[in-house]
Amino acid sequence: MSLTVVKGLQSEIYVPVTPAPVWAPVTKKLSEMTIAIATAAGVHQKDQERFNLAGDFGWRKVDDSYAPDQLMVSHGGYDNSDVNRDINAMFPYERLHELAKAGVIGGVAKFHAGFMGGGGNIQKFTEETGPAIAKFFVEQGVDAVLMTAG
Amino acid sequence: MQRAIEQAGIPTIIIAALPPVVRQAGTPRAVAPMVPMGANAGEPHNIEMQTGIVTDTLKLLEELEAPGQIVPLPYEYHAQI
Q: Which residue of B has its CA nearest to A34?
A: B10
Q: Which chain B positions have a beta carbon within 8 Å of A89's beta carbon? A: 38-44, 50
User: Which residue of A86, A89, A147 is in closest CB contact with B2?
Assistant: A147
Task: Please report the pLDDT score of residue A18 as a whole number.
Answer: 85
Task: Please report the pLDDT score of residue B79 as a whole number.
Answer: 86
In the stretch 27-56 of chain A, residues with CB closer than 8 A to chain B read 29-30, 35, 38, 40-41
pLDDT digits (tens, 9 = 90+) for A83-129: 999 999 999 999 999 999 999 999 999 999 999 998 788 899 999 99
Which of helix, strand or coil describes residue A36? strand
Distance CA A81, CA B8 (A): 34
pLDDT digits (tens, 9 = 90+) for A37-54: 999 999 999 999 999 999
Is residue B60 less than 8 Å (CB to CB) from chain A? Answer: no
Whether A24 sits inside 8 A of B11 (CB atoms) is yes
Separation of first and last alpha carbons in chain B: 30
Q: Please determine, for residue B81, whether its predicted confidence score (pLDDT) is greater than 80.
A: no
Amino acid found at A31: S
Which residues, other chains included, contact B2 with Cβ-Cβ below 8 Å and sequence gap of 6+?
Answer: A38, A145, A147, A149, B12, B14, B22, B25, B27, B28
Domain ranges of chain B: 2-72
Domain ranges of chain A: 30-148
Q: For A113, what's the count of Cα atoms within 13 Å in the CB-facing half-sphere?
A: 30
Whether B15 sits inside 8 A of A129 (CB atoms) is no
pLDDT digits (tens, 9 = 90+) for A1-35: 678 888 888 888 887 788 899 999 999 999 999 99
